């Protein structure tokens, strides 16, 4: 059996970090829920062409990740970062990497073409692009007075 030293303060640090993340997400208008200890870091940018989400998923493959859109405007990234097999001959002095299942959800702003979402996965980074709908010019309709 491999003995792994446990840092009792690491769990407390994780709780404080997650509480801060929840409040940050609320301020940005996004929602999020997590299933496991692993929670990928994301960057979300909104430009003239659309919305871009970059998620860091080190050690994962594209087959480990699923992206869905529900309720017309909630994009969810789900996946599982699998734990490597521990070998008896390894004497770990420190284990800091996180593993497990995760889910990150984001409320998309109005005006996104959710039927034209593109995703790519390269070097452990998932990139999702959601184009904006073309602006519709206001039309004038004359009403006949009876």
Each residue of 98-121: pLDDT tens digit? 888 999 999 999 999 999 999 999
pLDDT at 86: 63
Out of 13-17, 22-26, 34-38, 103-107, the most confident range is 103-107
- pLDDT per residue as tens digits for the range 68-104: 999 989 999 999 988 777 666 677 777 777 888 999 9
Q: Name 53's bridge partners.
A: 44, 128
Residue 40 burial (10 A CB sphere; 0-12, 13-18, 19+): buried
Element (H, E) at 56: strand 50-56
Rounded percentage of the chain residues whose pLDDT exceeds 70: 73
Question: Long-range contacts for 19-27 (Cβ within 8 Å, ≥24 apart)?
Answer: none
Task: List the single range of 28-32, 94-98, 127-131, 137-141 with lowest mean pLDDT.
Answer: 28-32
DSSP string across 71-107: TTTEEEEEEEEPPPPPPTT---S------EEEEEEEE
CATH 1.10.150.120 at 8-131, yes or no: no
User: At residue 42, does pLDDT exceed 90?
Assistant: yes
Q: Which of 11, 30, 16, 1 is nearest to 96 (CA)?
A: 11
What are residue 103's phi and psi, to 5 degrees? -150, 130
pLDDT at 35: 45
User: At residue 141, does pLDDT exceed 60?
Assistant: yes
Spatial distance between the Cα atoms of 128 and 117, rounded to a whole number of angstroms? 7
Spatial distance between the Cα atoms of 109 and 106, rounded to a whole number of angstroms? 9
User: At residue 21, does pLDDT exceed 60?
Assistant: yes
């Amino acid at each position: 059996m491999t003995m792994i030293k446990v840092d009792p303060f690491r769990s407390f640090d994780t709780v404080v970090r997650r509480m801060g993340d929840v409040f940050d997400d609320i301020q940005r208008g996004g929602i999020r829920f997590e299933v496991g200890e692993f929670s990928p870091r994301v960057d979300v940018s909104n430009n003239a062409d659309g919305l871009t989400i970059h998620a860091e998923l080190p050690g994962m493959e594209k087959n480990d990740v699923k992206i869905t859109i529900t309720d017309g405007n909630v994009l969810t990234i789900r996946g599982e970062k699998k734990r490597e097999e521990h070998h008896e001959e390894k004497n770990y002095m420190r284990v800091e990497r996180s593993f497990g299942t995760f889910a990150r959800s984001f409320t998309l702003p109005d005006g996104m073409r959710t039927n034209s979402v593109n995703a790519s996965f390269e070097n452990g980074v998932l990139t999702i692009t959601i184009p904006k709908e073309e602006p519709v010019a206001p039309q004038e309709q004359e009403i006949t007075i009876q």
